[in-house]
Chain A
Amino acid sequence: MEIVYEGESLIYGVFGNLLLAAAFSFALLSFFSFLISIKNPLDVAWKKIARTSFILHSVSVIVIFALLYFLISGRYYEYYYVWQHSSDNLPAQYLFACIWEGQEGSFILWAFWHCILGLFILKQNNEWSAPVIMVVSIVQAFILSMILGVFVGDLKIGSNPFTLLREHPDMANLPFVQLPDYLNRIEDGRGLNPLLQNYWMVIHPPMLFLGFASTLIPFAFAMAALVTKKYTEWVKPALSFTLFAVLSLGTGLLMGAAWAYEALSFGGFWAWDPVENASLVPWITLVAGLHVMFINKSRQKAFAASIILLSASFILVLYSTFLTRSGILGDSSVHSFTDLGLMGQLLFFLIAFIVIAATLIIYHIKKIPGVKEEDPILSREFWLYLGMLILLVSAIQISFSTSIPVINKVFGTNMAPPVEVEAHYNSWQVPIASLILIMMCIAIYLRFKKDDKKRFFKSISLSFFLSLIISIALGIYFVFSTVPMYLLLFASVFAIIANFIYFINKLKAKFKISGATISHIGFALIMLGSLIANAKKDVISENVLNVDLGKDFPNNENIMIRKGDTLSMGSYYVTYTGQRKEGVNVFFTIDYFRYNYERSTLSKVFTLEPFVQLNERMGNVAEPATKHFINYDLYTHVTYAELDKGDDEKDEDFTKMEEVKLSIGDTLSTSRHLLVLSHLNSTQDKESLGLADNDLAVEASFYVIDQFGKSKEMKPMLIIKNNTLLSKTEELDEEGIRIKFLNILPKENQLVFNIQERKSNKRDFIIMKAVLFPYMSLVWAGSFVLVFGLIISIRNRMSSK
């Protein structure tokens, strides 16, 4: 008998699946009709069909996106994706993040950006619109196939975001989904991973996917150029899109770096994690492609090189998609999505585009025109070429090391990643970055074609010598440990100064035409900041008591600090003042003090609150806290803490209640302290206690003296209100003493107290790590300058059409 389920809103799923089918079919229709219209330019009807199909396709994708948001915000748990990513008490700002937490939703986000970019090009309606959107359409068909969720025979194509919970393979066999009212039995959705409930999760993925999506446009132009045999004309219209791709992918990467630095416990902003690398490599090839496009434009040559580089960038984006989504990286990355069994399909997507691009390029390469003469060494194009080749070397090195899991899979080898990941990458990337920075200076001071030797050396010498002096001074000030670091120091200073002088002298500080120099300064600032922050980072939480086992095994980066204790760290004194639970987070309050010589006291400078997120489902996660200054950042991370204790101490932690009768002046000894009852006060301030005139409040003063003779005062209080006795317990947390004032016995001239002592004085403690990153602000300042420079370039290109 068929079960009639109660309360389901199936109509949305039907609608969603119709939209998916429409989006997929219209993408294919758009591709084929554009193809026909390009072959028959006179046939206007096909072009019209093609344009209409792309619009309908885009509308479908946008509505799918909106529908998914509607279902997530409405908590329609009958849909597996909604149940998996949303929950009842999820704050509204994270509802969008639910969409792209999973693979299906992030494919939709990616497709969404392609539609927006495609519609923009469609609106321009020039000779390039048709062939470019043709390429966009076929890519869209591939992406949508990833979320179709249909079966062709036994082959499952895609994973559908509108699958019902009761039909999902993980759920379908559970007995409860056989109940007609199963929906009412679902109390809550599984919700967004608390680790990702962070504002970065709201802004970083959309930016990164916009970056991925925007690499498609230069690729589409390059393919369109080959298909239409307009081998040279494509560069001008494609240039601003390439700049946009460099901008958006670069911003996405930098946001990821900022997230890692602020919220994850990497202890840095770039960990050379496989997924970070996988999205950095296309950016590098894209930058190389962009620079070759400048040669294309100025010298009418090297068109094949830019076509190859732009194609490689898009294919590398597909490769990065394959790495993150196929599950092949396994445990080697924090970024991987859950494996949905799409490996075959993702591989097909990747290989299909390698084959398409390679075939078209090989077929056309001989026909691509261009001046074949040699470039003189003193010409801008020579150095741009050289720079491009060095960028390629950089990309190859990163790709090779990142692909070790893939190589293992293909060749059956058993290689593990490099032991010291950062050192491994830096040994190549630091010299490469230095060369690139130096080339930035040389290329910008050289003219295209042949330049005059004297003129060139004369114009660059000021920057060169100025930079040399500054970097020697900086080198003496900072002192680095290796030669490549000094090289990078000089190169980045040189790039900043040479570009800045060029901006002032040659460009007369006109921002409009200075996009390139400003971007270069930004990039050089990032490099300089990374160099100083990484090479000169200082672990100030050093545990000097331990035996150092040598450089291989840093054993003294963590330090134990008990609640209330003050330890000296670097130029600070650090106190741990306690933990506090707020929602799912346990915050640790850590105060930083500086010694004030004038008053010879410690004065508080700032407080940091790193926390540990209690995460039943995925394990506890520690999140560091960082204090930012202009010249350094102070990173503080709790590496270990005992969490179960919390704030409300249990009574069993204390000795049993013991009533004692004391007179003024009596002394009582506990296991660790002496308690002296010194005097009795009646409180004058009755109002603040809410007492009437005939009520009474009496305070007993105790001196609590420890083994070193240090004393503290405790004032338990007894209130007599309406002839009833009320006692207020006083507690000294650090000392572990509780006193309750119970009664006054006027005849005996004695007071009755209840004194308790904590059984073990094992105070709350944390193990923390504090790292000082000098001049980290340069990295972020450089990021803004880079983004600003790229935006200027794009605006300039757009307005000069």
Chain B
Amino acid sequence: MKKTHIIALIVVAVAFAIILSSLSNTSTYANFSTSAKNPGKTYHVVGKLNKDRDMIYAPEVNANLFTFFMIDNEGKESKVVYNNSKPQDFERAEQIVIVGKMVEDEFIASEILMKCPSKYNGNEQDQNNLSYSNESQ
């Protein structure tokens, strides 16, 4: 066998290993019930903040503890504990993605991603804010 063939084989093997390892590294999008059935496994859960229940952030007591209630896309609610400071503008998020796992009845999030009203490119609902005067006249 030629050297080039051996090297080519090694490269293919490594590429294959990469794909397998990447697949095992990916998390999955899930809801609270799936997450509760597999405690200790990390999931991405997509949902909305429940604005009717209290968000608790008391930096005087603990600057790295923020808890809130989230409703996932299937309508199930869970308490979420985030061991970090409260993200800027959290209330404004239209949608939240939390990454973490269920521990007993609480979802312990290690990361929070927010979909804000188009933070970086801005568009959509903006027609409503168009500034022009005396529309009705």
Contacts of B89 in A (CB 8 A): 619-620
Assembled-state Cα–Cα distance A555/B85 (Å): 9
- Please give the number of chain B residues whose Cβ is less than 8 angstroms from any Cβ of chain A in the complex: 59
Closest A residue, CB atoms, query B25: A418
With A404-B26, A416-B27 in contact, do A193 and B122 touch (Cβ < 8 Å)? yes
Stretch at the interface among A245-253, A390-398, A523-531: A390-398
Within 8 A of A (CB), among B50-84: 57, 59-60, 62-65, 83-84
Q: Indicate whether A621 reaches chain B with its CB closer than 8 angstroms.
A: yes
CB distance from B8 to the nearest CB of A (A): 8
Q: A400-B22, A543-B62, A560-B59 are in contact. List 19 more A-B contacts (CB 8 A).
A: A185-B132, A186-B132, A187-B133, A334-B120, A377-B3, A414-B29, A416-B26, A418-B25, A419-B99, A546-B65, A553-B83, A553-B110, A555-B83, A555-B84, A559-B63, A621-B119, A640-B59, A765-B59, A769-B85
Q: Indicate whether A554 reaches chain B with its CB closer than 8 angstroms.
A: yes
Judge whether A546 and B64 touch: CB under 8 Å: yes
Judge whether A331 and B132 touch: CB under 8 Å: no
Contacts of B23 in A (CB 8 A): 415
Contacts of A396 in B (CB 8 A): 15, 18
Judge whether A336 and B108 touch: CB under 8 Å: no
Contacts of B118 in A (CB 8 A): 338, 618
Within 8 A of A (CB), among B1-25: 2-4, 7, 11, 14-15, 18-19, 21-23, 25
Q: Indicate whether A428 reaches chain B with its CB closer than 8 angstroms.
A: yes
Render A373-389 as a binary contact track against B, CB cut-off 8 A, 1 for contact. Answer: 01101000000011001
Assembled-state Cα–Cα distance A428/B15 (Å): 11
Closest A residue, CB atoms, query B4: A374
Contacts of A174 in B (CB 8 A): 127, 130
Q: Indicate whether A345 reaches chain B with its CB closer than 8 angstroms.
A: no
Render A602-623 as a binary contact track against B, CB cut-off 8 A, 1 for contact. Answer: 0000000000100001111110
Render B78-97 as a binary contact track against A, CB cut-off 8 A, 1 for contact. Answer: 00000111101100100101
Residue from B11, B111, B120, B133 within 8 A of A618 (CB atoms): B120
Q: Indicate whether A337 reaches chain B with its CB closer than 8 angstroms.
A: yes
Contacts of A619 in B (CB 8 A): 88-89, 92, 116-117, 119
Interface bin, chain A: 35 or more
Closest B residue, CB atoms, query A340: B123
With A331-B97, A396-B15, A418-B26 in contact, do A620 and B42 touch (Cβ < 8 Å)? no
Closest B residue, CB atoms, query A168: B127
With A400-B22, A558-B84 in contact, do A767 and B59 touch (Cβ < 8 Å)? yes
- B residues sitting closer than 8 Å to A (CB atoms) are 2-4, 7, 11, 14-15, 18-19, 21-23, 25-29, 42-44, 57, 59-60, 62-65, 83-86, 88-89, 92, 95, 97, 99, 108, 110-111, 113, 115-123, 126-127, 129-135
Judge whether B126 and A397 touch: CB under 8 Å: no
- A residues sitting closer than 8 Å to B (CB atoms) are 170-171, 174-176, 182, 185-188, 190, 193, 195, 331, 334-338, 374-375, 377, 385-386, 389, 392-393, 396-397, 400-401, 404, 414-419, 424, 427-428, 543, 545-546, 549, 552-560, 612, 617-622, 639-640, 765, 767, 769
Judge whether A428 and B18 touch: CB under 8 Å: yes
Judge whether B26 and A617 touch: CB under 8 Å: no
Judge whether A185 and B119 touch: CB under 8 Å: no
Judge whether A419 and B121 touch: CB under 8 Å: no
Contacts of B111 in A (CB 8 A): 419
CB distance from B68 to the nearest CB of A (A): 14
Residue from A400, A414, A618 within 8 A of B117 (CB atoms): A618
CB distance from B34 to the nearest CB of A (A): 11
Judge whether B28 and A331 touch: CB under 8 Å: no
Contacts of A375 in B (CB 8 A): 3
CB distance from B85 to the nearest CB of A (A): 4
Judge whether A190 and B22 touch: CB under 8 Å: no
Judge whether B83 and A640 touch: CB under 8 Å: no
CB distance from B19 to the nearest CB of A (A): 6
Most buried by A among B3, B83, B113: B83
What would 24 A/B residue contacts be, using CB atoms closer than 8 Å? A331-B97, A335-B120, A337-B121, A338-B123, A374-B2, A377-B3, A392-B11, A396-B15, A400-B19, A415-B27, A415-B28, A419-B27, A424-B25, A546-B64, A553-B110, A555-B64, A558-B63, A560-B63, A612-B88, A619-B92, A619-B117, A622-B88, A639-B85, A640-B85
Contacts of B123 in A (CB 8 A): 338
Residue from A175, A188, A338, A620 within 8 A of B131 (CB atoms): A188
4 nearest A-B residue pairs (beta carbon): A555-B83, A416-B44, A185-B132, A639-B85
CB distance from A635 to the nearest CB of B (A): 16
Judge whether A621 and B88 touch: CB under 8 Å: yes
Assembled-state Cα–Cα distance A549/B3 (Å): 51
CB distance from A577 to the nearest CB of B (A): 18
Judge whether A767 and B129 touch: CB under 8 Å: no
Judge whether A416 and B122 touch: CB under 8 Å: no
Judge whether B64 and A543 touch: CB under 8 Å: yes
Contacts of B15 in A (CB 8 A): 393, 396
Residue from A170, A389, A554, A612 within 8 A of B7 (CB atoms): A389
Most buried by A among B3, B122, B127, B133: B122
With A393-B14, A558-B64 in contact, do A618 and B132 touch (Cβ < 8 Å)? no
